[in-house]
Chain A
């Protein structure tokens, strides 16, 4: 690996160079291997189950995290963070269940409206960060709490409404033996990877994240890119919320809260640099899969929420230690 200081500047300019094996693939592959091992382990622990159904189950439950952590990964790539993801997931879930109220016909307008609202929250975050220059963690924390307040005010007193059966059916259906959510998952991973690691916009994000000063000198549309990233993060959280509502067939406003920390963890475990500019989506995907597999094991072993939190935090700390080692070696 080249010394960090030159590579971070040179990499975004490398568009014309012949494709080479991305050094970021190594941590992604290791994490992916660990995730597969965990799934195997959970198969062994869970007497009477076999590998493929267990894999299916992990993939289906991982989709919420996989989708939401894409947005988180983009904000971290820019050296920011999105702390509103949990709230947006919850709001999207409750909005889709309240508005469809068990009717399939309503899906056609409710789903776009929900996605629009989720993207709007992201847009507000992006505007605050890019134009008002509010530090991202304050901006997203404040907007998360504010919109949570709005959601709480609008939903309280309403009885729990059923999610449209179409969404529920979608999350439970299979095509050619493969669960539909797994198909959605794979499609999302392909699109997200292409966007982040294959388009010029994606490359611009790396440039902006690794050296904002250089990005400005290059004339990159910094504000527009920042707004785009936070809007996408809101949108992904919205998609995740809709899928979660369909999966749980009911929604509460804090259904997304447990997702916030794992989205950050998935990005960090996947090998992204927390100060921005480094990390690929496949790494985040592997991280999300690993956490979901771990969650499955915790559920199988019937461990408590406390253990879950400790393990999650400890894994982040461990990943951070490994990461700092890796950068130190790279700097050599």
Chain B
């Protein structure tokens, strides 16, 4: 895979999406500042925006790991519930050291995702239905295992991570975690053969198989990384909420899709923009926060979430139709397959 003109256009295409998002964020910020006053750009508000956006960006990457290989992970929240319960149990009940808890949460996240990957590969069914079923299993298992109890985390390191500051009072240290994950993702996809194979499997699974890519192994790696990122998101979420329970993760699915799709990750697989995911998460949480600042009743805030997701998909489709007008039809996931053109 050399640098073909098509590849070059794709890279440039993803850059325009990142540029577009920067513009969108600038517009949102100026818009909300002019309507809602300077409170929006106050360090307190910016702090809470980036705190949430950091977690949503990592969720977006967890989702993107599987979207890139033309699959999806509807169970991000289920894995989150399991990991949160485990983290709470280890830190509060078992009194384990923080590093042990963090490592175990990562391992369990990976294992939970791998189990779904194995199920998908052995049954040959769609990731959509498999992860949907596991969402229910994991969510239920977490509630069952904890009996719905709350865990009050007191670890000072976690508190410093989620509620401390970095350089400026407006920046939450979680941003560093999100950016680090982003850099690792970028290195994976653009400087590592495994990432290239993932993109190849997502773009055309049969062609990848025919060129000697071990598709099953690549898909399992994508599941494992998705699970690992869910574990990271769990720790980020717990670090600022501190009082955690098995209900965590229930609202993760939507931000994960919005960050990935709005960030320019093609739902058909084979394409990713890491900068786009980070910026999309920032935009999404700016919008949420801005709507609250300008006193939109909290009941109305649900509505834009769905609309933003829809708009993201439509924009993505328009962009791709323009960029690649002669895209051939190919096998798609059930649930993702629109009416054939």
Residues of A whose CB lies within 8 Å of any CB of B are 76, 79-81, 128-130, 132-139, 141-150, 152-153, 156, 212-213, 216, 222-223, 226, 261, 264, 268, 274-276, 304-314, 316-317, 320-321, 323-324
Q: Is the CB of B313 within 8 A of A134?
A: yes
| B132 partner residues in chain A, CB cutoff 8 A | 261, 264, 316
| B122 partner residues in chain A, CB cutoff 8 A | 324
Nearest CB in chain B: distance from A277 CB, A: 10
| Top 3 A-B pairs, shortest CB-CB distance | A309-B140, A306-B144, A149-B303
| B305 partner residues in chain A, CB cutoff 8 A | 145-146, 149
| Bound: A276/B144 CA distance, A | 34
Task: Tell whether A130 pairs with B309 under 8 Å between CB atoms, given A313-B133, A314-B137, A316-B136.
Answer: no
| Bound: A129/B314 CA distance, A | 11
Nearest CB in chain B: distance from A246 CB, A: 26
Q: Is the CB of A135 within 8 A of B336?
A: yes
Q: Is the CB of A150 within 8 A of B303?
A: yes
Q: Is the CB of B129 within 8 A of A264?
A: yes
| B89 partner residues in chain A, CB cutoff 8 A | none
Q: Give the secondary structure class of B's interface.
A: helix
Task: Tell whether A309 pairs with B303 under 8 Å between CB atoms, given A80-B335, A81-B335.
Answer: no
| B254 partner residues in chain A, CB cutoff 8 A | 141, 145
Nearest CB in chain B: distance from A3 CB, A: 16
B141 within 8 A of A: yes
Nearest CB in chain A: distance from B135 CB, A: 7
Binds A, one of B8-16, B17-25, B101-109, B294-302: B294-302
Q: Give the secondary structure class of A's interface.
A: helix
Query: Which residue of the partner chain, among B129, B130, B335, contacts A135 with CB atoms under 8 Å?
Result: B335
Q: Is the CB of B124 within 8 A of A324?
A: yes
Nearest CB in chain B: distance from A215 CB, A: 9
Q: Is the CB of A142 within 8 A of B306?
A: yes
Known: A138-B310, A320-B133. 7 other contacts (CB 8 A): A130-B338, A141-B306, A223-B339, A304-B144, A313-B135, A317-B137, A324-B125
Q: Nearest residue in B to A212 (C-beta to C-beta)? A: B340
| Bound: A213/B138 CA distance, A | 38
Q: Is the CB of A321 within 8 A of B123?
A: yes
| Bound: A316/B136 CA distance, A | 10
B292 within 8 A of A: no
B267 within 8 A of A: yes
Q: Nearest residue in B to A316 (C-beta to C-beta)? A: B133
Task: Tell whether A310 pairs with B141 under 8 Å between CB atoms, given A135-B337, A317-B130.
Answer: yes
Q: Is the CB of A136 within 8 A of B136?
A: no
Nearest CB in chain B: distance from A27 CB, A: 16
How many residues of chain B have a CB within 8 Å of chain A? 52
Fill in one digit per residue for B316-341: 1 if any A CB lies within 8 Å of its CB, else 0: 01000000000001000011111111
| A275 partner residues in chain B, CB cutoff 8 A | 126, 334
Q: Nearest residue in B to A211 (C-beta to C-beta)? A: B340
| Bound: A305/B4 CA distance, A | 54
Nearest CB in chain A: distance from B202 CB, A: 15
Nearest CB in chain A: distance from B227 CB, A: 17
| B309 partner residues in chain A, CB cutoff 8 A | 138, 141-142, 145
B257 within 8 A of A: yes
B279 within 8 A of A: no
| Bound: A321/B314 CA distance, A | 35
Q: Which of B100-124 contact A (CB under 8 A)?
A: 119, 122-124
| A76 partner residues in chain B, CB cutoff 8 A | 334
| Bound: A275/B134 CA distance, A | 18
Q: Nearest residue in A to B331 (C-beta to C-beta)? A: A275
| A147 partner residues in chain B, CB cutoff 8 A | 306
Task: Tell whether A134 pairs with B124 under 8 Å between CB atoms, given A149-B299, A153-B303.
Answer: no
| A149 partner residues in chain B, CB cutoff 8 A | 299-306
Q: Is the CB of A144 within 8 A of B126?
A: no
| B87 partner residues in chain A, CB cutoff 8 A | none
Q: Is the CB of B126 within 8 A of A134?
A: no
Query: Which residue of the partner chain, among B136, B138, B257, B310, contacts A261 with CB atoms under 8 Å?
Result: B136
Query: Which residue of the partner chain, among B143, B307, B341, contacts A133 with CB atoms under 8 Å?
Result: B341
| Bound: A269/B184 CA distance, A | 41
Q: Is the CB of B140 within 8 A of A134?
A: no
Q: Is the CB of B339 within 8 A of A212?
A: yes
Q: Nearest residue in A to B141 (C-beta to C-beta)? A: A310
Q: Is the CB of A306 within 8 A of B140?
A: yes
B261 within 8 A of A: yes
